[in-house]
Amino acid sequence: MSGGNEHLSALWLATLQRLADRAAHDVRNALNGVAVNVEVVRSRAGRGAEGSAIAPFATAAAAQVEILTAQVDALVALLRPATVPVDLGVLLGRLTALVQDTTGKDVITLDLPANSGSVTSSAGGDATRLAVSGAFLAALERPGGVVCRLGTDEAPTVYISSSAGESFVVAQDIVDTVTAAGIQLRSSPDGITLSFPSSSRD
């Protein structure tokens, strides 16, 4: 592995850890929701309570299991080696599933075109993930939520902006590393635009 690749891998690992750190609270909350609601079901069922007194809590526990499943799925997928070309819509979906609740409810808005599956990046898997995750985490640091949009005008493009219109910056070592991997990263007051080398999807 070249020095550049090692640096890229180290940066991606560090970014993944930041994502996991943000997700930990949500994972624990979801587990908590499951545990508490199951306890209500167990306790009330044990006392022979009516179904109507039990059903809402069984439903709530099931909903928490769904959230937990999506979070674990997203984390496991991000831990696996990426397949190139990288589906940018799927990547954004996983990031959103992982950290959806870290700053409150429904603060991450995904604006994906109908044919989002065709928007892919042929840059390296780790480089693509690093670029999108780096911008995504930087936007999350700002209050008010994040808006993510996909575009295909000239090249596969990801637009990431803060819902409150606040500007933000991506760490310079991430910018340098992803630029070296062929990804263009442009900052403007409206947000960050990432342009990826195009490819047809496998």
Footprint of other proteins on this chain (CB under 8 A)?
Answer: 21, 24-25, 28-29, 31-37, 39-40, 42-44, 56-57, 60-61, 63-64, 104
The token pair that represents 105 in the structure block = 């409810």
At closest approach, how far in Å is the CB of 53 from other proteins?
Answer: 8
Task: Report the distance separating Cα 96 and Cα 64, nearest Å.
Answer: 16
Distances in whole angstroms, Cα of residue 185 to Cα of each of 6, 37, 157, 178, 192: 21, 45, 10, 8, 7
At closest approach, how far in Å is the CB of 19 from other proteins?
Answer: 14
At closest approach, how far in Å is the CB of 54 from other proteins?
Answer: 10
Q: Which is nearer to other proteins, 53 or 180 (CB)?
A: 53
Q: Which is nearer to other proteins, 64 or 195 (CB)?
A: 64
| Bridge partners for 180 per DSSP | none
84 touches 127 (CB < 8 A): no
Q: Which is nearer to other proteins, 24 or 76 (CB)?
A: 24
Sequence letter at residue 9: S
Contact residues for 63 (Cβ-Cβ < 8 A; gap 6+)? 33
At closest approach, how far in Å is the CB of 104 from other proteins?
Answer: 6
DSSP conformational letter for 201: -
Q: Which is nearer to other proteins, 102 or 152 (CB)?
A: 102
